[in-house]
């Protein structure tokens, strides 16, 4: 296998027909002219060429993924959704050097990510995770550009194979990953994988072969989805070419069982905070549409009791509806309160799978060491009676709490951006892990890691128009948190002290008044505790009135 494998995938509309105008393939290059559609670039770099050897030496899995804030579409087969922001996930082995990894994150990915060592990561059941709401990609792009000249250097200086830099800036998501895990497809294992995704564009560009054609393979595919059996395979057809090798496109037709997919029948959701809210905002997610359980069959090996042979049998999978929340440090949930919801089957919560990270119930935002917390909930699905209705609805109501914010000058509120949760069905599935080696699957390390490897994911769509260059839409919920304006400090400090001192003086004065009145620290004829006997006698003589 070539040391560098570069693949351009274009998912073109079904009515797209290639013409000599739109595609010009020669032995030297491929030229595209206004090819419409979704695009994904994938570069697989084999281990010896990877520059970050010191980081990769003792790691099982690493994935750094930046999702744009725009509400972009997830076009099949790129259905896997992530929340916007920068996601850094690590499954370390013994001796993993957190400091040099954090140096790498800050210098190569984004200097604004607060990565100072293992302490910056929250512990998840499968590894360590750092999230940042910063989505800047320029550092990462210039890093890739300067570190992997084999990818970006070309004989034609006008073009850079890994999309030119301005193209990368418009990408909807960029990820870098490296995995030694057994679950990873063989062709990705032990290699650095970079993936860049644009949900839509008209692509005019020249794609050149690799400089060293033996070690650098550049492949281009133009594909369309031919069929999508919701409980089975997805079929794609189209044309493929290895630039520099093929002078003609080769037709292709293949099917596979994808791990991530959209829902066949539409269901949408939209979250917001219920108004009015204060320091205890209620996070409401409304879900509408077809909320029938996806009909998914899972393939299992079943032993035939008569023959003793194993057969592959389709059985209906069991599915659950899940909500995955990212809670940056300014907001948190009370895990006990959420468990109570699940116990009462209230708020749309069926089961708390887990809450990880900073869950302290009291500390203000500046005492939170890590970036925040995540929560995975299994949600209550509509009852059978509700499923009779043409459209179903569900409401998830999660009580949240905002942390005390840092006081600032001339402001009485701090506004934060919170990512929308992801809502999806997870269907437990096949014993076989063929989905993991699907042609478009990558060693992803997000919510899917909470489920068994054979699980399939079916995503609900955010209820918002897709972002376009003219009309940006973002999956952002704004949260306003009241703060004390910092300029009040110059009044608060002296007046607090003055009042306390006044209080002390007043009490002392009153004590002295009493002292003077009684002529001492004692009262005449009154001790602490008159012996009960003596007192009883006294009482007989004259009822004492206090």
Residue 111 or 485 with smaller CB distance to other proteins = 485
Output the smallest distance, CB 497 to other proteins, in A.
6
- Give the number of residues written for the chain: 546
* Inter-residue contact 217 to 46 (CB < 8 Å): no
Tokens 């994988």 correspond to 193
Q: Tell me the C-alpha distance between 199 and 180, whole Å.
A: 29
Residue 126 or 277 with smaller CB distance to other proteins = 277
CA 184 to chain centre: 20
Q: Tell me the C-alpha distance between 102 and 130, whole Å.
A: 11
Output the smallest distance, CB 398 to other proteins, in A.
15
Q: Tell me the C-alpha distance between 345 and 339, whole Å.
A: 9
End-to-end CA distance of the chain: 101
Q: Tell me the C-alpha distance between 531 and 377, whole Å.
A: 66
- Indicate left, alpha or beta for 190 from its phi (over 0: left) and psi (-120 to 50: alpha): left
Residue 168 or 327 with smaller CB distance to other proteins = 327
Output the smallest distance, CB 529 to other proteins, in A.
5
CB half-sphere exposure, 380, CA atoms < 13 A: 22
Residue 157 or 532 with smaller CB distance to other proteins = 532
Residue 316 or 514 with smaller CB distance to other proteins = 514
Output the smallest distance, CB 354 to other proteins, in A.
15
Residue 301 or 538 with smaller CB distance to other proteins = 538
Rg value, the chain, Cα: 32
Residue 117 or 494 with smaller CB distance to other proteins = 494
Q: Tell me the C-alpha distance between 400 and 282, whole Å.
A: 6
Output the smallest distance, CB 408 to other proteins, in A.
6
- The strand pair at 461-462 and 267-273 is best described as parallel
Q: Tell me the C-alpha distance between 429 and 455, whole Å.
A: 5
List of residues contacting other proteins (CB under 8 A): 276-280, 335-336, 340, 359-364, 366-367, 404, 406-408, 412-413, 480, 482-486, 488-489, 491-493, 495-497, 499-504, 506-511, 513-515, 517-518, 521-523, 526-532, 535, 538-539, 543-546
Output the smallest distance, CB 344 to other proteins, in A.
10
Output the smallest distance, CB 421 to other proteins, in A.
22
């Amino acid at each position: 296998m070539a040391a560098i494998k570069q693949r351009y995938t274009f998912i073109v509309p079904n009515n797209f027909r290639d013409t000599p105008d739109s595609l010009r393939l020669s032995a030297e290059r491929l030229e595209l002219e206004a090819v419409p559609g979704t695009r994904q670039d994938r570069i697989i770099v084999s281990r010896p060429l990877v520059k970050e050897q010191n980081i990769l030496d003792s790691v099982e899995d690493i994935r750094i993924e930046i999702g744009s804030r725009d509400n972009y579409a997830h076009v099949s087969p790129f259905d896997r959704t992530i929340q916007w922001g920068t996601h850094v996930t690590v499954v370390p082995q013994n001796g993993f050097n957190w400091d040099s990894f954090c140096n790498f994150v800050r210098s190569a990915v984004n200097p604004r990510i607060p990565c100072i060592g293992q302490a910056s990561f929250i512990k998840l059941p499968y590894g360590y995770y750092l999230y940042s709401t910063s989505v800047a990609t320029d550092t990462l792009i210039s890093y890739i550009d300067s570190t992997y000249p084999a990818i970006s250097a070309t004989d034609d200086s006008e073009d850079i194979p890994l999309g030119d830099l301005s193209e990368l800036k418009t990408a909807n998501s960029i990820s870098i990953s490296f995995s030694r895990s057994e679950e990873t497809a063989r062709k990705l294992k032990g290699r650095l994988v970079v993936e860049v995704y644009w949900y839509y564009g008209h692509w005019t560009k020249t794609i050149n072969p690799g400089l060293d054609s033996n070690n650098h393979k550049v492949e281009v595919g133009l594909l369309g989805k031919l069929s999508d059996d919701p409980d089975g395979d997805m079929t794609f057809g189209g044309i493929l070419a290895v630039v520099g090798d093929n002078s003609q496109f080769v037709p292709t037709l293949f099917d596979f069982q994808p791990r991530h997919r959209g829902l066949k029948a539409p269901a949408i959701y939209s979250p917001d905070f219920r108004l009015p809210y204060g320091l205890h905002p209620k996070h409401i997610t409304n879900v509408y549409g077809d909320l029938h359980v996806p009909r998914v069959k899972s393939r299992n090996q079943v032993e035939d009791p008569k023959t003793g042979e194993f057969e592959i049998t389709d059985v209906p999978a069991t599915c659950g509806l899940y909500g995955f929340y990212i809670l940056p440090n300014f907001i948190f949930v009370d895990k006990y309160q959420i468990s109570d919801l699940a116990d009462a089957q209230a708020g749309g919560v069926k089961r708390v799978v887990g809450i990880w990270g900073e869950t302290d119930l009291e500390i203000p935002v500046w005492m939170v060491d890590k970036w925040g917390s995540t929560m995975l909930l299994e949600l209550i699905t509509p009852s059978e009676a509700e499923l009779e209705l043409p459209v179903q609805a569900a409401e998830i109501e999660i009580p949240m709490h905002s942390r005390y914010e840092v006081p600032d000058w001339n402001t009485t509120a701090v506004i934060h951006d919170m990512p929308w949760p992801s809502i999806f069905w997870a269907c437990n599935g096949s014993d076989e892990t063929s989905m993991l080696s699907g042609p478009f699957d990558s060693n992803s390390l997000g919510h899917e890691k909470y489920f068994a490897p054979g699980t399939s994911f079916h995503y609900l769509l955010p209820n918002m128009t897709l972002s376009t260059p003219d009309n940006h839409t973002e999956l952002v919920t704004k949260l306003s948190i009241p703060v004390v304006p910092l300029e009040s400090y110059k009044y608060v400090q002296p007046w607090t002290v003055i009042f306390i001192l006044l209080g002390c003086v007043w009490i002392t004065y009153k004590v002295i008044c009493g002292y003077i009145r009684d002529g001492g620290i004692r009262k005449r004829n009154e001790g602490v505790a008159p012996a009960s006997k003596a007192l009883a006698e006294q009482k007989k003589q004259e009822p004492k009135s206090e």
